[in-house]
Chain A
Amino acid sequence: MLNLIIGILLLATLAPKLEVTNNWVRPSSKDMNTAVYAVIKNNSDKADTLYSVSSNLAKVTEIHETYEKDGSMGMRKVDFIVIPAKKSFELKPGSHHIMLIKLNQDIQKGKKYELTYKFKRAGEIKVSAVANDKASGHGTH
């Protein structure tokens, strides 16, 4: 019994408090723009905040959201995204995304690209996003 409890406790501490998974980026070319998508899983019992994403892939990296107004689609910068305790937040096409403005390089299908997500509690999380031109945000994992 004690072993079981220890086991469960161990598992709980081993599971990362915050995960950034299903990372993918839409292929694009140098000097153009593109968007990065992911699923952010907050396994902890406290809310966390994504406040910045950095990368060497583009001149500017921003957190964005796509919105609809009077039948038109637009896009705007958001300052942060709150991920509630024990909840997931999906960065997906037609919704929130990480915006890469003026790419320093081509983003080629099948290749991997590094980014760093910055959270208030969990700190910096490095991810590698696969270039993929699918319409849906559901990952390849």
Chain B
Amino acid sequence: MKILKIFFHLQISIPLLLLISLSGCKSDFELNENLQGFSFTLSDQDGKTVKFTSDQKGKLIVVGFIFTHCPDICPLTVNNMQLVQKELKKEGIEGVEFLAITFDPERDSVKLLKKFSALREIDEKNFRFLTGPRKEIDSLMSVMRIVAVTGDTTMIDGSASYFYTHTDRISIIDQRGFLRTEYPGSKANIEEIVNDIKKLR
């Protein structure tokens, strides 16, 4: 069985582009997409409702996209976010929220996200793992331009095993809800992200 899911909706990109051209650009960041109006309803690793991006207003958001069955890339992306979080803590920089959003909500339950977080010894004070209804995740991914496509599914011990080919990205959304900068998630340079956070504060 082959499941193919491509998430890309042009109709959302056009109003976005309009907003980009209307919004004023501060500092040296090229990106300036407005995500202000969005309020995707998701659940964190404790089952608490989190609205993205409205709940994080006034804070910088460092957001990454993952699936917990990922063995090689997503753990690196989460690890990079964790390293940035540690560095900010060390330097006493506050007002930054870390969000790791799954594009595999069918398998990534609240419980599994909690387990994944515990396993990686995540400081959950300002770091959340988010899941939600498929439709909500799909629209959020298209807004953020994240693509995730499943490969062949094989049955192992009565349960479906499949992997995603996916965008590997960490993004920063500023206090007003503007998407400002992006990095290759698993290969991101920690120092660069920390410096950009300092500029965007």
Residues of chain A touching chain B, judged by Cβ–Cβ distance below 8 Å, are 26-29, 32-35, 59-60, 64, 66, 68-69, 71-75, 93-94, 97, 99-102, 133, 135
What residue of chain B has the Cβ atom nearest to residue A71's Cβ? B167
Provide the residues of chain A in CB contact with B147, threshold 8 Å. 72
Provide the residues of chain A in CB contact with B187, threshold 8 Å. 94
Which residue of B69, B79, B149 contacts A135 across the interface (Cβ within 8 Å)?
B79
CA distance A68 to B184 in the complex (A): 11
Which residue of B68, B71, B76, B119 contacts A99 across the interface (Cβ within 8 Å)?
B71
Tell me if B165 and A72 are in contact (CB < 8 A): yes
Query: For chains A and B in complex, what number of residue pairs have CB atoms within 8 angstroms?
Result: 75
For residue B131, CB closer than 8 A to chain A, the reply is no
Tell me if B72 and A35 are in contact (CB < 8 A): yes
Tell me if B69 and A94 are in contact (CB < 8 A): no
Tell me if A100 and B76 are in contact (CB < 8 A): no
Q: Give, as a whole number of angstroms, the nearest-CB distance from B131 to chain A.
A: 15
For residue B183, CB closer than 8 A to chain A, the reply is no
Tell me if B119 and A66 are in contact (CB < 8 A): no
List 15 additional A-B contacts (Cβ < 8 Å) besides A75-B163, A75-B165. A26-B75, A27-B120, A28-B71, A33-B70, A35-B72, A71-B167, A72-B167, A73-B167, A74-B163, A74-B165, A75-B73, A101-B161, A102-B156, A102-B159, A135-B83
